[in-house]
Structure 1
Amino acid sequence: MGRGDLTSREWSLLRAHLPPAGGRGGRWSDHRMVVNGMLFRVRTGVPWRDLPERYGSWKTVCERHRRWSADGAWDRILQAVQADTDLAGRVDWSMAGVDSTSCRAHQHAAGARKARPRVPRKGTTPRHHRPDEGLGRSGGGLTCKIHLAGEGGCRPLASLVTPGQWGDAPQMTEVLGRIRVPRLLGGRPRTRPGRVSGDKAYSSRRNRRYLRRRQIKHTIPEPKNQRANRRRKGSAGGRPSGFDQEHYRRRNEVERTVNRLKNFRAVATRYEKRAYVFHGTVTAATVRLWLRP
């Protein structure tokens, strides 16, 4: 076992949720070796061709990561690992924090063809495929943004990749809508935390209505301009939104979650041309965080 590879405990938690090790044309290579190769690349950010020889053919590792990103296998693996952790009672549902982080795109991430990308099966579109490829251009160059919701244990519950210039507030509903943790003992999947916290960037009437409709408490500060505008309207401006300073002190949990996620160099800097492949890279890093004790 090399540095950073899956331990025997982590492999025992993961192996039951992996796709069958077989496919057209023969059996796949050993799952553990290839999965360790994928996680090594996510952790270090090296080019696929520079993977150490102990992980086998770099092309096999790269192609399997692309396939799992395209057909949503990484998302299914993440939900299964989250379900196991929730069954053990190690998921903090009392509060979920929402936040975003910008990732600089490497020059190799540019230049994707505008035509629909190659997919595993004819006539299908990869999950999380975006026509804009999740890239935006600003004064600093090409960037993308990762929006996420994290639980109290500093692990992401769901994530979303968008171009770097997109705002935070409009993406909150989509990120929270992606939270879906199955219940292994039966019942509907868990989709609602007890409370949601966010900074001033997430303060909007649309977001507050969405949270009230789903019966989720919120701790989101109101910016000065919104507060002044509400007071200017008088009774027509509505009542001030509730804000609990004690709950807001837990805001650092989602910021620590972002920090842990960006310790993976292939997440901190985007190298993939396709948005769905980069989403798979972010999800693979998330799975690695959930496997840790």
Structure 2
Amino acid sequence: MRRYELKDADWARLAPLLPGKVEDAGRSAADNRLFVNAVLWIARSGAPWRDLPERFGPWHSVYRRFRRWAQQGVWQRVFEAVQDPDLDWAMLDSTSVRAHQHAAGQKKATPPAEALGRSRGGFTSKLHAVVDALGNPLRLALTPGQQADCTVAADLLAGLAVSAVLADKAYDTNAVVAHISQAGAAVVVPSKRSRRTPRELDRNLYADRNKVERFFNRLKQYRRLATRHDKTAASFLAFAQCAATFVWLL
């Protein structure tokens, strides 16, 4: 077993979720395992596509297939399919990812369309996540680095049936608090100093929020996500979805 490659047990869980099976319409994909191992190698090593080892085949063919799956939502569907969440409560947070100079220069779209922006950390993207009570990822979103965390909270939490939502002060807005309350969940979010009447906070439960931070630490073990090299938001988010899938599997 080479480094960065899926074990037999993990592949057995993943294989039925991928397109190109014999019973699927269209061309079969007998090399799905080789292809997924190639994507995993790129994600973990952080290397450019051109440096993909020859054992995986022509780098450009692998890259084009990865892009095609990203644009067709395959990585998103696989990420959702592997989940077996503990929905006692959910935790919400974001992390900033510094963009490499190679991420700039996309000519067909303005930087906001590719989730790139200027923040105090420089030229960045912001990756948002909701995790379950065990710290496993449920949903991901990508925005420019300067965009406030609270702006995507409602979309990330939509339809989640949990007893409580844990988040830091960045999510203490009237809109987010109302959305959580209307969903029937407890609001475990510290009140900002500007609130005239601070909410009571279950500090024992709030201490569990470290699990979302630990998830981001695991995610950034994939070097392709520690620094953004991808020009397009679709490719970078697809790598995040791949890594989140592997968090469930590995």
TM range, normalised to the smaller chain? over 0.9
Could you say which structure has the greater relative contact order, defined with CA pairs below 8 angstroms and 6 or more residues apart? 1
Match of 1:5 in 2: 5
Tell me the C-alpha RMSD between the 2 structures.
2.2
Match of 1:208 in 2: 177
- Tell me the distance in 2 between the aligned counterparts of 1:58 and 1:28: 17
Unaligned runs of 5+ in 1: 117-129, 180-190, 232-239
Unaligned runs of 5+ in 2: none
Counterpart pick for 1:223 among 192, 205, 211: 192
1:124-182 CA distances to partner (integer Å, 9 max, x unpaired)? xxxxxx962100024553110001011132221101000000111122112222x7xxx
Q: CA deviation at 1:29?
A: 5.8
TM-score, normalised relative to structure 2: 0.93
Bigger mean CA offset, 195-204 vs 54-63 = 54-63
Alignment of 1:139-154 (within 5 A): 140-154=121-135
Higher-Rg member (1/2): 1
Match of 2:107 in 1: 113
1:200-238 CA distances to partner (integer Å, 9 max, x unpaired)? 111111111101111112200101122xxx25xxxxxxx
The answer to whether the 8 A contact 1:94-1:152 is kept is yes
Match of 1:125 in 2: none
The answer to whether the 8 A contact 2:20-2:26 is kept is no
- Tell me the distance in 2 between the aligned counterparts of 1:286 and 1:256: 13
- Tell me the distance in 2 between the aligned counterparts of 1:172 and 1:115: 25
Question: In the alignment, residue 3 of structure 1 is paired with which amino acid?
Answer: R
Alignment of 1:270-285 (within 5 A): 270-285=228-243
TM-score, normalised relative to structure 1: 0.80
Identity of aligned residues (%): 41
Q: Classify the secondary structure of the residue corresponding to 1:132.
A: helix
- Tell me the distance in 1 between the aligned counterparts of 2:87 and 2:156: 16
Question: In the alignment, residue 206 of structure 2 is paired with which amino acid?
Answer: Y
Alignment of 1:34-49 (within 5 A): 34-49=35-50
Question: In the alignment, residue 73 of structure 1 is paired with which amino acid?
Answer: V
- Tell me the distance in 2 between the aligned counterparts of 1:27 and 1:17: 14
* Matched pairs, number: 249
Question: In the alignment, residue 2 of structure 2 is paired with which amino acid?
Answer: G
Q: Call closer, same or farther: CA 1:20–1:99 in 2, change over 3 Å.
A: same
- Tell me the distance in 2 between the aligned counterparts of 1:172 and 1:75: 19
- Tell me the distance in 2 between the aligned counterparts of 1:214 and 1:73: 29
Question: In the alignment, residue 252 of structure 1 is paired with which amino acid?
Answer: N
The answer to whether the 8 A contact 1:169-1:207 is kept is yes
Counterpart pick for 1:102 among 96, 108, 119: 96
- Tell me the distance in 2 between the aligned counterparts of 1:160 and 1:206: 19
Match of 1:198 in 2: 167
Q: CA deviation at 1:114?
A: 2.6
